[in-house]
Structure 1
Amino acid sequence: MGKTLIELDEQALAAAQRAFGTKTKKDTVNRALREVSDRVKRHEARLTAEGMAAEALDLDVLLDKSRYRPGSAAADGDRAA
């Protein structure tokens, strides 16, 4: 872990310390960075899941019976004859 000298918004830092229950500036900043990183990962996972769900729930595909009943169209034609 590297050392970095930064200026912090003391009011925001105090609010973050209360929210996280952290005692030191270092712990608070590291916790906030992890929280943002985790939020980005969850957001990306949600977008991926939404994309997969959209593909899986394509109503045109679901209503096309020939896609999940191969040969049913031929069987229907045989019954009509």
Structure 2
Amino acid sequence: MSNLYVEVDDEALAEAASILGTRSKKDTVNAALQEVARRHKRLKALERLVEMGRGGDFDVLLDKANYRR
């Protein structure tokens, strides 16, 4: 873990702590950074699913005869 000293917007920090349910500044910043990384991964996964859908990868599900095979 790195020690990093930065100026932080107190209002934004308080709002993030409320949303994230954290109590300390350190926990809030770490949780926010982790959430950004997780959100980015989810977005990339969703983009891959969209491309798969456009490519017809899920078309087999449209045929109810094949739906539960």
TM over 0.5: yes
Aligned identity (percent) is: 41
Q: Which runs of 4+ in 1 moved over 6 A?
A: none
Aligned residues: 58
User: Please, what TM-score do these two structures have when normalized by structure 1?
Assistant: 0.67
Considering only CA atoms, is the larger Rg found in Structure 1 or Structure 2?
Answer: 1
Task: In structure 1, list runs of 5 or more residues that go unmatched.
Answer: 60-81
Task: In structure 2, list runs of 5 or more residues that go unmatched.
Answer: 60-69
Partner residue of 1:39? Answer: 39
Alignment map for 1:61-72 (pairs within 5 Å): none
Alignment map for 1:1-81 (pairs within 5 Å): 1-56=1-56
Does 1 or 2 have the higher relative contact order (CA < 8 Å, sep 6+)?
2
Deviations 1:32-77 (A, max 9, x none): 00111011000000001110111016x9xxxxxxxxxxxxxxxxxx
Partner residue of 2:64? Answer: none
Q: What CA distance in whole angstroms lies between the structure 2 residues aligned with 1:7 and 1:38? A: 24
What RMSD over aligned residues (CA atoms) do the two structures have, in Å? 1.4
User: Please, what TM-score do these two structures have when normalized by structure 2?
Assistant: 0.78
